[in-house]
Each structure stands twice: as C-alpha cells, then as structure tokens.
Amino acid sequence: MLEAVVSHGTGRAAAVPGRAVAGKTGTTQDFRDAWFVGMLGPLVIGIWLGNDDARPMDDVRGGTLPARLFREIAEAVP
C-alpha cells in the first residue's frame, strides 16, 4: 500500500527511478506542517517542514517539497 503512494498517489515526487520506494505524505490544516516519511530498502527517512511560529506555508503539502527532498537524499544513497 505504501509503495502505491509513491507509484500512483500523492508521493509521486519521491520516486527514485529503478528503486523500490514506499512512503506516506501528510499535511496539517492550513498548511502549517507537511511531511514525507519514506522507505528505501532498510533505510527510513523522515522529512518534516513547517514554520517554528506556526504560520502557514504557501501551499506546501507532503507530496510536494518534502517528497522532493526525500528523493534528493535517496538518490545519493548507494
């Protein structure tokens, strides 16, 4: 099910070509927090983004910037 989040769902931006990735996106109300927690083999990487004063972010969702950051980190893993 978590692989489908990356292959067909909200976490598509986390996909790493040629590698099996699974994960979960999340966004709190008013875009105050956004995250992506993903698995690449035995490695688990969690990305959380938010403002430390609880201000909303500009339309940042778990499947956008957090998922892209996960992919960039995962691509560097041998």
pLDDT per residue as tens digits for the range 26-78: 999 889 999 999 999 999 999 999 999 989 999 899 999 999 999 999 999 88
Question: Whole-prediction pTM value?
Answer: 0.92
Alpha carbon distance 75, 53 (integer Å): 32
Q: What's the confidence (pLDDT) of residue 78?
A: 84
**Alpha-carbon span 57 to 31, nearest angstrom:** 6
> Residues 6 or more apart from 56 whose CB is under 8 A from it?
30, 31, 32
Alpha-carbon gap, residue 30 to 60, rounded angstroms: 10
Domain boundaries, the chain: 2-75
List 45's β-bridge partners, or say none: 38
From the DSSP assignment, how many helices (H) and strands (E) are in the chain? 2, 3
pLDDT at 59: 86
CA–CA distance, 55 with 18 (Å, rounded to integer): 38
pLDDT of residue 13: 98
Is the pLDDT at 2 greater than 90? The verdict is yes
